[in-house]
Structure 1
């Protein structure tokens, strides 16, 4: 196979695969405390899994908020699979899923060095850099046309 499959993680084994990706990227690589990575919103979220030949390689999370807002979170790609457009594909998948759930506005807390990446999707920065889980982030917003 020459590309990843991206889908909603429905089963417990699928959600476990999502957590493995997040553990590798956020906890191991970026040194985020597990208490900051696994939070009270896990059960309220739509988890997305990217696999390459059955191996978990990427993940994302979507939370539907009030007033037509959706929050894209925990977008991650394991180091070996970076540079293949997976983060873009996961972001598009999450945005489509948000629209399917009725979202008219989306937001995310982007790691500051990824601001331009999300700007390519129509997100705009709002406010100053802030620290979340020990990393510099920016709030980014997007309203549907």
Structure 2
């Protein structure tokens, strides 16, 4: 599946609908420190930190990519439920890793402590995992 990863700067109406579908089935812990999916989407679009995976003009997955001088953090990673287990999350992480490397930074995943999904993804893709203080 050729998923195109891009930073979302101007989200169309369809993009907004797709983002809501992506985060609709996400566990509540994924939104921390935001209260819900709407606040997460709004804040990430406003500060330019939202990246998304697109296939056939539809968004299938999204994450927050926070850029610092030497370390970039990928957090709030979620893939639409009907599309999971098809490599979308891996594509998002790999592209974020490539962008960070090109900028001379290291990519780290960021998630609340104790969540096995985040630990498994970090281990599988060999990306360091740091915990979000909640």
Work out whether the TM-score is over 0.5. yes
Taking a change above 3 Å as real, the CA distance of residues 64 and 53 of structure 1, as seen in their structure-2 partners, is same
The structure with the greater share of residues assigned to helix is: 2
**Unaligned runs of at least 5 residues, structure 1:** 133-145
The structure with the greater share of residues assigned to strand is: 1
Taking a change above 3 Å as real, the CA distance of residues 89 and 52 of structure 1, as seen in their structure-2 partners, is same
Matching residue of 2:124: 120
Taking a change above 3 Å as real, the CA distance of residues 41 and 54 of structure 1, as seen in their structure-2 partners, is closer
Structure whose alpha-carbon radius of gyration is higher = 1
TM-score by length of 2: 0.69
Contact 2:7 2:48 (8 Å CA) reproduced: no
CA shift for structure 1 position 25: 3.5
TM-score by length of 1: 0.65
3-state SS in 2 of match to 1:13 = coil
3-state SS in 2 of match to 1:102 = coil
**Unaligned runs of at least 5 residues, structure 2:** none
Q: From 57, 65, 68, give the equivalent of 1:65.
A: 68
Give the aligned CA root-mean-square deviation in angstroms: 3.1
Aligned residues: 125
Matching residue of 2:21: 24
